[in-house]
Amino acid sequence: MIETVGERRRIWLLTGATSGYALHLTDTDELLHLHWGPRVTAADAEALAARPLPPYRPFESRLDGHEEYPVEGGPRFVRPALAVRHGQARGTQWRFEGAGADGDELALRFGDGPLALTLHYRMRDDSDVVERWVTAAHRGGGPEPEALELLRADAATWSLPLRDAWRLSQLRGRWSAEFQPARSALAYGETVIGSRRGHTSHQHLPWVALDAEGATEEYGELYTCALAWSGSWRIAVQRLPDGLVQITGGAGHDDAGLVRLAPGDSYTSPVFAALWSAGGFGGASRAWHAWQLAHVIPDARRTRPVLYNSWEATGFHTSRERQSALARRAAALGAELFVVDDGWFRGRAGDRSGLGDWEPDPDRFPGGLRPLADEVHGLGMGFGIWVEPEMVNPDSDLHRAHPDWAQHRPGRRGTEFRNQLVLNLARPDVREHLWERLHGLLSSTPVDFVKWDFNRCFTDAGWPGESYPERLWVEHVRALYDLLDRLRAAHPGVAFESCSGGGGRVDLGILSRTDQVWTSDNTDPLDRLAIQHGFSQLHPARVMAAWVTDSPNVQLNGRASSLRFRFVSAMAGVLGLGGDLTRWSVRELDEARRWVELYKSIRPVVQLGELHRLRAPGGDGLSAVQYALGDDVVVLVWLPAQRHGEPPPPVRLRGLDPQARYVCRDTGELYRGSVLIHHGLPTGLTGDLDAAVIRLCRGC
């Protein structure tokens, strides 16, 4: 809900499910932040607006820490959200030009000569997430209007209330160890995280959280922000000299240049969303999950199928015969989607060749992929393929025909990672070529699922001949979004998974266009517990793909683990299978079939239910998560190692009705809700790498 408050109607109050957000425009067109936190009334907002700014102090700005969207220029010393160059002039001196509300969206319009700037806000009635973004436009003016250069145009600046001290949480990592929570006291000055890699990155998720009073998993006030952008990005958390804190974020990793606007051009930033929660890290997570399921993820209320992926079984040595053998075994286990990974296309005997030539290898797949797809469909499964459209091998027909299509800098030696280069999707001819190839592939073959990979970072982001090559960084991502949007519109029955060597491209922007993400290339079930714990801080289980693979884990660490532990680990998200099923014993196959059947029975609860992280993974102690949907409760528990004389403790459940009775669906045992909350649920786990799935039902 949006209210325009006060006699002069220059106060705006946005109200969501449990929280509110307010801002105020002064008589001199200074846009000030008033409130972000629990719900307040219009009278409260007016009282806050009546408070004066701090008095003048030498060497300080009265505006710093109070402005809603600080710009470059004037009496300001904080990091600006907006930096503009117009000819020889820099800085912004805007004037207010109007406001408008349309449903749950508020737009505030400002102007500075040829620059038109609109600040957008959206807060939905069913959520506490505030969505913010900006639009900058060149509206011309003058006999020979010059171009406007946006050096920086962040989506939003978030202002926090004054507290004695703050703690900063972020999700850091690396390839195969993504989404590791890290918490530290927020120092004075700036803490900057981001990506200079051209994609979201394995190193940081574009998410931060701040708490001032020791928030826990279920208690305490928390402010969290997340950026919806799949390219290079930056989030800066500033603790100012007077203790105020502001968080600024948007596309681009520095201020070297974002886009150049000719008269009539405009730039719209990605969304920088944020929410306030009084329910600690768990309450914030559940609010983020609910918002994404309702407003971000396509067709989110439809649960994702159990898939089988052939990569760890075959690598590049794929063929129709090997895929058929795997498909038959996967179908017998209950898999619902069969995905052919890398190696199906012409010239692809390894990672040195073939990328860019998206045609089935005639020796490995006589007649193309359709015969295999028909066979897979006949087994009752959907059919999927792996692609990496944004990349090209130098040893490919595409690169030989169009070497200039790869990102490169003239006069400089290029870099190859994984023996491949990055195509310049900002070029219209490259973008159109990929559309024709991918659209043709999906039109000629009955494909139900596309695993879209991205296996290297930008290193030579040049664009010879382009007058403003800096725009490549933004335009590549825009082109990616355009391709996915066009393909989804033309092939509405095809689902897409985002992958970037695992979790290198996971963000709200890509999730608005894909159905799930490949969380990490690390499929070790113990390592995955920490990865999945961090992932769940922002994103729901409905999009978190997780595989059961072979033991020992030959891809990474060689750790041996039971099929039970591997399955229960992967059942915390969208279950997948990735081992070489032709080498599994009859006993293993039979056990796996039962686990798949069990997962299908709990799938709606896991993928769509409310998540409670009961015990965080770490060391050799017990860890557990709980999902609840309606009357159903599912608890997954893992015991990495058993200590002598230290039986694992009962797991205390959360979010239950203390007056209700809960029945275990597997044993028939009856529990009181209050007992489960205060005394816990016995798990029965023993030994090393043990795990269990416990299904409860209220009133059954």
| Alpha-carbon dihedral 278, 282, 285, 291, rounded to 10 degrees | -60
> Cβ contacts of residue 57 below 8 Å, gap of 6+?
none
Label each residue of 335-388 as H, E or C. CCEEEECCCCECCCCCCCECCCCCCECCCCCCCCCHHHHHHHHHCCCEEEEEEC
Residues 544 and 574: their CA atoms lie apart, in Å, by 6
Amino acid at 377: H
Q: Are 187 and 285 in contact (CB under 8 A)?
A: no
Residue 236 DSSP one-character state: E
Determine what percent of the chain falls in helix, strand and coil, rounding each to the nearest 5: 20, 35, 45
Give 568: exposed, middle or buried? Use CB within 10 Å, 0-12, 13-18, 19+: buried
Q: What's the chain's length in residues?
A: 700
Q: From the CB of residue 188, how many other CB atoms can be counted at a distance below 10 Å?
A: 9
Maximum Cα–Cα distance for the chain, whole Å? Answer: 85
Residues 183 and 202: their CA atoms lie apart, in Å, by 18
For 589-628, the DSSP string reads: HHHHHHHHHHHHHHHHHHHHSEEEEEE---TTS-EEEEEE
For 519-582, the DSSP string reads: --S---HHHHHHHHHHHTTTS-GGGEEEEE--SS-TTTT-----HHHHHHHHTTSEEEE-S-GG
Residues 603 and 408: their CA atoms lie apart, in Å, by 46
Show which residues are catalytic: 453, 521
The pair phi, psi for residue 481, each rounded to 5°, is -60, -40
Residue 406 DSSP one-character state: B
Joined together, the tokens standing for residue 353 give 């060749």
Strands 449-452 and 382-387, by their bridges, are parallel
